[in-house]
Chain A
Amino acid sequence: MSALPVASLTRGPQVLLAPTEPLAGERLLPVHDALVPLLPQGGLRRGSTIAVTGRGAVTSLALALVAQASSAGSWTAVVGLPGLGLVAAHELGVSLDRCALVDHPPPGTWGQVVGALIGAVDVVLWSPPPRLPRSETRRVAARMRERGTVLVQVSGASTGPSPDVTLTVTDVTWQGIERGHGRLAARRVSLERSGRGAAARLLRVDLWLPGPDGRPAAVEPEATVHRFPAALPA
């Protein structure tokens, strides 16, 4: 009869389970409070892909998604976005000290570039090229799941790994600017969430991105009232 180690007897059988699975907290990268309702787990799940599409606030939304993780110590790599506004990234809370940019990966090296970054940085923000071999996409997706890197895909190209969560910007409204006076101050963004698994339920959310203080903010319920004219048919 083989004797069990004493420790396992005193602490119970659960000690025998391999504790390789990371804790729930470590599987998620934090996001700004205003963005929590958008994500089924309330954070960026390691190894998942999030696509941001639509029009009018796509880049800001992608930056806002990664900002909290970046300021909490994660590295971010930006691939294939030569027009990314670095000042806007800074204002939204992305740490520029922990950010790397590969603006123009040579054609044919995209898979290798992203592959080299996966595992080394926590978040990769990229705009996939119009053509990418399916084999490379699969390799990128598999490595991401294995290494726990989050991929944020900006804009519509359909070549990247298929997203777990898709956030679509459906409408934007700027506040603070009039015909000839004021200035751009705050932007109200209407979003639609779709996706797989827990994200499959279609969700519509309104956000301030940025709010009047420059940071994302949730839209208060009373603020939604004046979206509809008072003379709405009863």
Chain B
Amino acid sequence: MVVWLPHWPLTAAGIGPDEPAVVVQANRVVAASPAARHRQVTVGLRRREAQARCPEIAVLQHDPSRDARYFEPVVQALDRFTPRIEILEPGWCSFPTRGPSRYFGGDEALAVKVLQVLDAALAGPELSVAGRVGVADGPFTAEVAARDTVTRSRVVAPGASAGFLAPLPVTVLDHRGQRLVDRESLVDLLWRLGLRTLGDVAEVPASDLAARFGPDGLVAHSLASGLDDQPPDTRPPPPRWAVEAELDPPAERVEAATFWAKALADELHERLAAEGLAASRVLIEAQTEHGESMARSWRHEGALRAGDLAARVRWQLDGWLHSVARPTAPITLLRLVPEEVVAHHGRQLGFWGGETQATHRAARALARLQGLVGTEGVAVPELRGGRGPADQAGRVPVAAVDVTAEPRPVEAPERVEAPWPGRVPPPSPALVHPAPLPVELTGADQQAVEVTGRGELTAEPVRMRSGTAGRPALDRPALDQQVTAWSGPWPCDELWWDPAAHRRRARLQVVLDDGVAHLLTREGGRWFLEATYD
């Protein structure tokens, strides 16, 4: 049985089905509410396009840990049916029905009960969504059944999967056939070859599909025939493959536990890779100082990579710590047990791989660091082009870029190369103060030095002193010094066409009597110490 909560990311964010809203990731819509879908906003659209089709739409950022946090109580409610629940991703879970449906009197009766429990669990203050269930021989058919039903529950009788799937369009393969390497082009090509329904695909001999499409063709054939792409292997992997870590000191915060989880996931991954395997289902167990424990299975249609696994540990712990049955003590033990393994196709590193290896090593360390300081805390520099030292380069969170790509693609390369009139020529200051310090610049007659509308100084600057009685920090100069040399000003008038973003500034290089040079900015009638040539 597969349980599906439609547009879960929106529900988890507290959006009702009647509000037009989308969840975006990397500027693409990944989930849309029913109200948004009525306005022709579909998954896969660019954010701007979605806003154009529905101007009042609410745009939310993708947050898997929020999704998982709110999903956990739902799974806990379903725990009463069976302990063998597998989570595919927040919003989707499945479990084998053989035991429970015999106990509850058949698949239909079980489906009704599950829906009742779901509705009770979701009747909370801000969650409102109608869950759906599908029951069939295999997970793929059950998923299609859950997705395509209009009656909230659909039970495909044993052995009837092929008949149920036959009239459906071939595009359903696109939904979640994640084991297909290149499903988009496969589905597109099947359609253009005239195989419009899954029944058509199933009628073609499997060997012909394999000859034309390779492994993808075989997978598509068995899915379309109602067989599962991979019959579950009932032999459990040997227990020695499990990895565990005792957390000392015990982890009170999810971040600290995630740090361990990353190391564990790496270890598990290496151990399995040595056998030529990868995990497709992993049991994540956590125990606290008081002996409370929690275990969940996570399944992935492909294979779980170390990073995916660490993210799932984080989601699970997040959900646990925010649920009703939250633990009363810090976490002392984490265990990852591979429950189902598949052959791993591996990844070939570059032959002349010294540098690549260094980069992958660094990338792994940066991923681990994110567990420690948060995703926003680890950044990589990016040149952007601009006039001021703070505009010309920026910091991008590591999570948003592929650090192994070299050279790393720049968002707008033409901006970096473009001429920037008014830019202060290099060398650039090595210290850019995150918060510019207000300063006073005075001439020989103690009068403040200003910049005229034509971009000229009103007097020769003689002294510079800090405008506020702030403490002189290590990276701040002495607060009252003679100006021995200066150059400029470099006036710049930026974004004059946009009243909200318009900035009019002038920059001045000054050298003080201790020999240190600074970059001053004048904006809004005041001077600021923007950067130091340290």
Contact = CB atoms under 8 A, between A and B. Distances in A.
Interface in A35-84: 55-60, 63, 73-75, 77, 82-84
Interface in A85-124: 85-92, 96-106, 109, 112-113, 116-117, 119-122
B358 A102 contact: no
Contact of A98 (B359, B368, B377, B488): B359
A111 to B, nearest CB: 11
B426 interface: yes
A90 B368 CA distance: 26
A172 B516 contact: yes
B230 to A, nearest CB: 36
A174 B519 CA distance: 13
Contacts of B354: 73
A82 to B, nearest CB: 5
A83 B407 contact: no
B485 interface: yes
B531 A103 contact: no
B373 interface: yes
A99 B315 CA distance: 29
B392 interface: yes
A113 B372 contact: yes
Interface string B481-515: 00011111000000000000000000001010011
Given A58-B534, A178-B485, A100 B366 contact: yes
Contacts of A146: none
Contacts of A177: 485-487, 509, 511, 517
A184 B427 contact: yes
Contact of B362 (A105, A121, A187): A121
Contacts of A155: 474-475
Contact of A63 (B259, B406, B430, B487): B430
Interface in B439-488: 457, 460, 474-475, 484-488
B35 interface: no
The interface residues of chain B, by DSSP majority, are classed as mixed
B393 interface: yes
Given A102-B377, A180-B460, A88 B369 contact: no
Given A86-B392, A97-B407, 11 more contacts: A60-B533, A73-B358, A100-B380, A101-B378, A116-B372, A120-B365, A121-B365, A174-B515, A174-B533, A177-B509, A177-B511
B398 to A, nearest CB: 7
B362 A100 contact: yes
Contacts of B517: 174, 177, 184, 187
Contacts of B380: 96, 99-101
Given A59-B534, A102-B373, A177-B485, A90 B383 contact: yes
B169 to A, nearest CB: 45
Nearest to A60: B430
Given A117-B369, A184-B427, A184-B533, A74 B358 contact: yes
A29 B433 CA distance: 30
Nearest to B408: A97
Interface string B510-534: 0100111100000000000001011
Interface residues of B, number: 59
Contacts, number: 176
A233 interface: no
B427 A89 contact: no
A195 interface: no
Q: Which 5 pairs across A and B sit closest by C-beta, in order of nearness? A: A120-B365, A86-B393, A59-B430, A88-B430, A87-B428
A33 interface: no
22 contacts: A58-B534, A63-B430, A73-B354, A75-B359, A75-B361, A85-B429, A87-B392, A87-B428, A88-B429, A92-B430, A98-B359, A100-B366, A100-B378, A101-B381, A102-B378, A103-B379, A103-B395, A104-B377, A171-B515, A172-B515, A173-B515, A179-B484
A183 interface: yes
A87 B393 CA distance: 6
Interface string A210-229: 10001000000000000000
A224 B341 CA distance: 71
B359 A101 contact: no
Contacts of A181: 487
A174 B426 contact: no
Contacts of A73: 354-355, 358
B350 interface: no
A120 B364 contact: yes
A112 B383 contact: no
Contacts of A122: 358
B362 A98 contact: yes
A132 to B, nearest CB: 16
A164 B364 CA distance: 29
A182 interface: yes
B319 interface: no
B382 interface: yes
B432 interface: yes
B451 to A, nearest CB: 13
B487 A180 contact: yes
A205 B244 CA distance: 54
B412 to A, nearest CB: 15
A194 to B, nearest CB: 20
Interface string B343-381: 000000000001100110110111011001100011111
Best-surrounded residue of B364, B372, B392, B484 (most CB of chain A within 10 A): B372
A9 B392 CA distance: 63
A183 B531 CA distance: 16
A167 to B, nearest CB: 14
Interface in B402-432: 403, 406-408, 425-432
A117 B378 CA distance: 12
B369 A102 contact: yes
Nearest to B361: A120
Contacts of B124: none
